[in-house]
Amino acid sequence: MAEQATTNPNKALWEKGDFTRIAATMRDSGVALVDDLDVTAGLRVLDLGCGDGTTALPAARLGATVLGVDIAPNLVAAGNERAAAAGLDNLRFQEGDAADLSDLADDSFDLVVSIFGAMFAPRPMSVAAEMVRVTRPGGRIVMGNWIPGDPTLVAQLLRISGSYSSPPPEGFVSPVTWGVENDVRERFAAAGIAPERISCTRQIWTFAHPGSPTELLAIFRDYYGPTMNAYAAAAAEGRGDALHAELEELFASQNTATDGSTSIPATYLRVAVSA
Ligand SMILES: C[S@@+](CC[C@H](N)C(=O)[O-])C[C@H]1O[C@@H](n2cnc3c(N)ncnc32)[C@H](O)[C@@H]1O
Protein backbone atom coordinates (compact mmCIF):
# COMPACT_ATOMS: atom_id res chain seq x y z
CA MET A 1 0.00 0.00 0.00
CA ALA A 2 1.32 3.46 -0.86
CA GLU A 3 2.49 5.47 2.14
CA GLN A 4 0.14 8.31 3.04
CA ALA A 5 1.57 11.65 1.95
CA THR A 6 2.24 14.17 4.71
CA THR A 7 0.16 17.32 4.48
CA ASN A 8 2.70 19.52 6.22
CA PRO A 9 4.96 21.03 3.51
CA ASN A 10 7.58 22.07 6.09
CA LYS A 11 7.84 18.47 7.27
CA ALA A 12 7.67 17.05 3.73
CA LEU A 13 10.58 19.23 2.62
CA TRP A 14 12.91 17.82 5.28
CA GLU A 15 11.69 14.23 5.15
CA LYS A 16 12.55 14.29 1.48
CA GLY A 17 15.95 13.00 0.47
CA ASP A 18 18.39 12.33 3.25
CA PHE A 19 19.83 15.28 5.14
CA THR A 20 22.29 12.96 6.90
CA ARG A 21 24.29 13.01 3.64
CA ILE A 22 24.72 16.78 3.92
CA ALA A 23 25.30 16.58 7.67
CA ALA A 24 28.24 14.27 7.01
CA THR A 25 30.02 17.28 5.44
CA MET A 26 29.37 19.45 8.53
CA ARG A 27 30.74 17.37 11.41
CA ASP A 28 33.91 19.35 12.15
CA SER A 29 32.02 22.65 12.19
CA GLY A 30 29.44 21.13 14.55
CA VAL A 31 32.15 20.09 17.00
CA ALA A 32 33.89 23.48 16.75
CA LEU A 33 30.65 25.35 17.42
CA VAL A 34 29.80 23.25 20.46
CA ASP A 35 33.36 23.61 21.80
CA ASP A 36 32.66 27.34 21.89
CA LEU A 37 29.47 27.06 23.99
CA ASP A 38 30.86 26.27 27.47
CA VAL A 39 28.98 23.00 27.64
CA THR A 40 29.49 21.33 31.00
CA ALA A 41 28.47 17.96 32.44
CA GLY A 42 24.79 17.86 33.33
CA LEU A 43 23.86 21.00 31.38
CA ARG A 44 20.32 20.54 30.04
CA VAL A 45 20.52 21.18 26.31
CA LEU A 46 17.77 21.30 23.70
CA ASP A 47 18.94 21.06 20.09
CA LEU A 48 16.08 22.31 17.95
CA GLY A 49 15.92 21.30 14.29
CA CYS A 50 18.75 18.98 15.25
CA GLY A 51 18.87 16.79 12.13
CA ASP A 52 20.86 13.66 12.96
CA GLY A 53 22.81 15.43 15.70
CA THR A 54 25.57 17.56 14.16
CA THR A 55 25.59 19.63 17.36
CA ALA A 56 23.62 17.33 19.68
CA LEU A 57 26.24 14.56 19.64
CA PRO A 58 29.23 16.79 20.46
CA ALA A 59 27.24 18.41 23.29
CA ALA A 60 26.36 14.99 24.72
CA ARG A 61 29.99 13.87 24.42
CA LEU A 62 30.86 16.81 26.70
CA GLY A 63 28.48 15.36 29.30
CA ALA A 64 25.38 17.49 28.76
CA THR A 65 21.94 15.93 28.96
CA VAL A 66 20.71 16.54 25.43
CA LEU A 67 17.32 16.35 23.77
CA GLY A 68 17.25 16.71 19.98
CA VAL A 69 13.93 17.78 18.47
CA ASP A 70 13.28 17.68 14.75
CA ILE A 71 10.23 17.71 12.52
CA ALA A 72 11.53 14.92 10.25
CA PRO A 73 11.01 11.41 11.68
CA ASN A 74 13.74 9.91 9.46
CA LEU A 75 16.29 12.33 10.95
CA VAL A 76 15.05 11.63 14.50
CA ALA A 77 15.60 7.92 13.82
CA ALA A 78 19.05 8.59 12.36
CA GLY A 79 19.96 10.67 15.43
CA ASN A 80 18.83 7.98 17.84
CA GLU A 81 20.90 5.43 15.90
CA ARG A 82 23.97 7.66 16.10
CA ALA A 83 23.43 8.17 19.85
CA ALA A 84 23.13 4.40 20.41
CA ALA A 85 26.19 3.68 18.25
CA ALA A 86 28.17 6.24 20.28
CA GLY A 87 26.92 4.74 23.57
CA LEU A 88 25.46 8.10 24.63
CA ASP A 89 22.58 7.44 27.02
CA ASN A 90 22.46 11.15 27.88
CA LEU A 91 21.20 11.95 24.37
CA ARG A 92 17.85 11.26 22.78
CA PHE A 93 15.94 12.55 19.80
CA GLN A 94 12.21 13.06 19.37
CA GLU A 95 9.87 14.46 16.78
CA GLY A 96 8.55 17.97 17.27
CA ASP A 97 7.88 21.32 15.66
CA ALA A 98 9.96 24.33 16.69
CA ALA A 99 6.86 26.52 16.48
CA ASP A 100 4.95 24.38 18.97
CA LEU A 101 6.98 22.68 21.69
CA SER A 102 3.94 21.94 23.85
CA ASP A 103 5.49 18.58 24.94
CA LEU A 104 8.26 20.50 26.68
CA ALA A 105 7.83 22.26 30.02
CA ASP A 106 8.58 25.94 30.67
CA ASP A 107 12.14 26.73 31.83
CA SER A 108 13.35 23.17 31.23
CA PHE A 109 16.67 23.85 29.47
CA ASP A 110 19.87 25.71 30.36
CA LEU A 111 20.85 26.00 26.70
CA VAL A 112 18.74 25.90 23.54
CA VAL A 113 20.78 25.48 20.36
CA SER A 114 19.38 25.72 16.86
CA ILE A 115 21.88 25.61 14.04
CA PHE A 116 20.19 26.16 10.68
CA GLY A 117 17.21 24.36 12.23
CA ALA A 118 14.43 26.49 13.75
CA MET A 119 15.02 29.08 11.02
CA PHE A 120 13.21 26.69 8.64
CA ALA A 121 10.02 26.49 10.72
CA PRO A 122 7.12 28.64 9.53
CA ARG A 123 5.69 31.08 12.14
CA PRO A 124 8.94 32.65 13.35
CA MET A 125 7.23 34.62 16.12
CA SER A 126 5.99 31.36 17.65
CA VAL A 127 9.47 29.85 17.25
CA ALA A 128 11.07 32.70 19.21
CA ALA A 129 8.36 32.53 21.89
CA GLU A 130 8.75 28.77 22.26
CA MET A 131 12.55 28.93 22.49
CA VAL A 132 12.27 31.57 25.22
CA ARG A 133 9.54 29.68 27.06
CA VAL A 134 11.51 26.43 27.38
CA THR A 135 14.77 28.18 28.37
CA ARG A 136 15.18 28.78 32.11
CA PRO A 137 15.66 32.38 33.28
CA GLY A 138 19.41 33.00 33.06
CA GLY A 139 19.79 30.29 30.41
CA ARG A 140 20.99 30.80 26.86
CA ILE A 141 19.68 30.46 23.32
CA VAL A 142 22.15 30.14 20.43
CA MET A 143 20.98 30.12 16.83
CA GLY A 144 22.88 29.80 13.56
CA ASN A 145 21.00 31.34 10.64
CA TRP A 146 21.83 31.77 6.97
CA ILE A 147 21.92 35.39 5.82
CA PRO A 148 19.89 36.63 2.83
CA GLY A 149 21.99 38.12 0.05
CA ASP A 150 25.24 36.86 1.55
CA PRO A 151 27.67 35.92 -1.22
CA THR A 152 28.68 32.56 0.32
CA LEU A 153 27.40 29.05 -0.44
CA VAL A 154 24.11 28.45 1.32
CA ALA A 155 22.56 31.89 0.86
CA GLN A 156 23.42 31.66 -2.84
CA LEU A 157 22.20 28.08 -3.10
CA LEU A 158 18.85 29.05 -1.57
CA ARG A 159 18.64 32.15 -3.77
CA ILE A 160 19.40 30.28 -6.99
CA SER A 161 17.12 27.38 -6.03
CA GLY A 162 14.31 29.87 -5.30
CA SER A 163 14.72 31.47 -8.71
CA TYR A 164 13.96 28.12 -10.40
CA SER A 165 11.02 27.21 -8.13
CA SER A 166 7.42 28.41 -8.07
CA PRO A 167 6.79 31.45 -5.88
CA PRO A 168 6.01 30.56 -2.25
CA PRO A 169 2.41 30.77 -1.02
CA GLU A 170 1.11 34.14 0.13
CA GLY A 171 2.12 34.95 3.69
CA PHE A 172 5.19 32.70 3.56
CA VAL A 173 8.01 34.18 5.65
CA SER A 174 11.40 33.35 4.18
CA PRO A 175 13.63 31.30 6.54
CA VAL A 176 16.56 33.60 5.80
CA THR A 177 14.80 36.50 7.51
CA TRP A 178 16.28 34.80 10.63
CA GLY A 179 19.61 36.03 9.22
CA VAL A 180 18.46 39.68 9.41
CA GLU A 181 19.44 41.23 12.73
CA ASN A 182 16.40 43.54 12.94
CA ASP A 183 13.98 40.67 12.37
CA VAL A 184 15.75 38.55 14.98
CA ARG A 185 15.57 41.39 17.50
CA GLU A 186 11.91 42.03 16.79
CA ARG A 187 11.01 38.35 17.26
CA PHE A 188 12.86 38.01 20.56
CA ALA A 189 11.57 41.38 21.77
CA ALA A 190 8.02 40.12 21.18
CA ALA A 191 8.97 37.09 23.30
CA GLY A 192 9.96 39.41 26.16
CA ILE A 193 13.75 39.61 25.69
CA ALA A 194 15.38 43.02 26.32
CA PRO A 195 17.59 44.29 23.48
CA GLU A 196 20.81 44.16 25.51
CA ARG A 197 20.30 40.42 25.99
CA ILE A 198 20.59 39.74 22.27
CA SER A 199 23.82 39.70 20.30
CA CYS A 200 24.41 38.91 16.64
CA THR A 201 27.77 38.15 15.04
CA ARG A 202 28.86 36.83 11.67
CA GLN A 203 30.67 33.49 11.83
CA ILE A 204 31.97 30.88 9.42
CA TRP A 205 30.66 27.35 8.93
CA THR A 206 32.68 25.02 6.70
CA PHE A 207 31.37 22.23 4.48
CA ALA A 208 34.07 19.60 3.93
CA HIS A 209 33.93 16.73 1.44
CA PRO A 210 36.74 14.41 0.38
CA GLY A 211 35.70 14.58 -3.31
CA SER A 212 35.32 17.42 -5.81
CA PRO A 213 32.85 20.34 -5.63
CA THR A 214 30.91 18.62 -8.43
CA GLU A 215 30.50 15.57 -6.19
CA LEU A 216 29.39 17.75 -3.29
CA LEU A 217 26.81 19.44 -5.53
CA ALA A 218 25.54 15.98 -6.54
CA ILE A 219 24.96 15.21 -2.85
CA PHE A 220 22.90 18.39 -2.49
CA ARG A 221 21.03 17.64 -5.74
CA ASP A 222 20.17 14.09 -4.66
CA TYR A 223 19.62 14.49 -0.91
CA TYR A 224 18.94 18.11 0.17
CA GLY A 225 15.17 18.83 0.07
CA PRO A 226 15.33 22.48 -1.09
CA THR A 227 17.83 21.66 -3.86
CA MET A 228 15.92 18.51 -4.90
CA ASN A 229 12.77 20.62 -5.27
CA ALA A 230 14.62 23.22 -7.33
CA TYR A 231 15.98 20.54 -9.71
CA ALA A 232 12.48 19.07 -10.09
CA ALA A 233 10.94 22.50 -10.78
CA ALA A 234 13.71 23.43 -13.22
CA ALA A 235 13.42 20.09 -15.08
CA ALA A 236 9.66 20.57 -15.40
CA GLU A 237 10.34 23.83 -17.22
CA GLY A 238 13.22 22.48 -19.33
CA ARG A 239 15.70 24.57 -17.31
CA GLY A 240 17.47 21.71 -15.49
CA ASP A 241 20.78 22.18 -17.35
CA ALA A 242 20.78 25.92 -16.64
CA LEU A 243 20.25 25.35 -12.92
CA HIS A 244 22.97 22.70 -12.84
CA ALA A 245 25.46 24.95 -14.65
CA GLU A 246 24.75 27.82 -12.26
CA LEU A 247 25.24 25.61 -9.22
CA GLU A 248 28.40 23.97 -10.66
CA GLU A 249 29.87 27.45 -11.01
CA LEU A 250 28.78 28.36 -7.45
CA PHE A 251 30.28 25.26 -5.80
CA ALA A 252 33.53 25.46 -7.80
CA SER A 253 34.01 29.16 -7.14
CA GLN A 254 33.42 28.80 -3.38
CA ASN A 255 35.85 25.93 -2.92
CA THR A 256 39.05 26.86 -1.08
CA ALA A 257 40.73 23.42 -1.17
CA THR A 258 43.48 22.84 -3.70
CA ASP A 259 44.07 19.09 -3.30
CA GLY A 260 41.04 17.75 -5.18
CA SER A 261 38.81 17.79 -2.10
CA THR A 262 36.20 20.40 -1.21
CA SER A 263 36.20 22.89 1.61
CA ILE A 264 33.61 25.65 1.44
CA PRO A 265 33.36 28.29 4.16
CA ALA A 266 29.92 29.86 4.46
CA THR A 267 29.00 32.90 6.53
CA TYR A 268 26.09 32.73 8.96
CA LEU A 269 24.54 34.92 11.64
CA ARG A 270 25.15 33.59 15.13
CA VAL A 271 22.46 34.83 17.49
CA ALA A 272 23.07 34.59 21.23
CA VAL A 273 20.28 35.38 23.69
CA SER A 274 20.44 35.50 27.48
CA ALA A 275 17.02 34.50 28.71
C1 LIG B 1 19.64 22.41 7.46
S2 LIG B 1 19.05 21.13 8.51
C3 LIG B 1 20.11 21.34 9.93
C4 LIG B 1 20.13 20.16 10.84
C5 LIG B 1 21.09 20.22 12.02
N6 LIG B 1 20.85 21.34 12.89
C7 LIG B 1 22.51 20.20 11.55
O8 LIG B 1 23.19 21.22 11.74
O9 LIG B 1 22.95 19.18 11.00
C10 LIG B 1 17.49 21.80 9.03
C11 LIG B 1 16.81 20.93 10.03
O12 LIG B 1 15.69 21.61 10.59
C13 LIG B 1 14.63 20.70 10.70
N14 LIG B 1 13.37 21.44 10.72
C15 LIG B 1 12.79 22.12 9.71
N16 LIG B 1 11.63 22.67 10.12
C17 LIG B 1 11.48 22.33 11.43
C18 LIG B 1 10.47 22.59 12.39
N19 LIG B 1 9.36 23.29 12.09
N20 LIG B 1 10.63 22.10 13.64
C21 LIG B 1 11.72 21.34 13.95
N22 LIG B 1 12.69 21.04 13.06
C23 LIG B 1 12.58 21.54 11.82
C24 LIG B 1 14.79 19.80 9.49
O25 LIG B 1 14.09 18.59 9.57
C26 LIG B 1 16.30 19.63 9.45
O27 LIG B 1 16.74 18.55 10.22
Angle of CA points 211, 157, 12, to nearest 5°: 100
- Taking residue 70's Cβ as centre, other Cβ atoms within 10 Å add up to 29
Q: Which residue among 6, 10, 11, 14 is best mutated to probe the pocket of ligand 1, counting the most ligand atoms within 8 A of its Cβ?
A: 14
For 255-264, what is each residue's pLDDT tens digit? 999 999 999 9
162 CA to middle of ligand 1, Å? 19
The verdict on the CB of residue 93 being under 6 Å from ligand 1 is no
Q: Is 1 a residue whose pLDDT tops 60?
A: no
DSSP string, 97-156: BTTB-TTS-TT-EEEEEEESSGGGSS-HHHHHHHHHHHEEEEEEEEEEEE-TT-SSHHHH
pLDDT reported for residue 5:
52
Q: Is 166 a residue whose pLDDT tops 90?
A: no
C-alpha to C-alpha distance for 204 and 202, rounded to whole angstroms: 7
For 176-205, what is each residue's pLDDT tens digit? 999 999 999 999 999 999 999 999 999 999
C-alpha to C-alpha distance for 268 and 184, rounded to whole angstroms: 13
What confidence tier does 3 reach under pLDDT thresholds 50, 70, 90? very low
For 88-147, what is each residue's pLDDT tens digit? 999 999 999 999 999 999 999 999 999 999 999 999 999 999 999 999 999 999 999 999
Q: Is 37 a residue whose pLDDT tops 50?
A: yes
The amino acid present at 243, given as its one-letter code, is L
The verdict on the CB of residue 160 being under 6 Å from ligand 1 is no
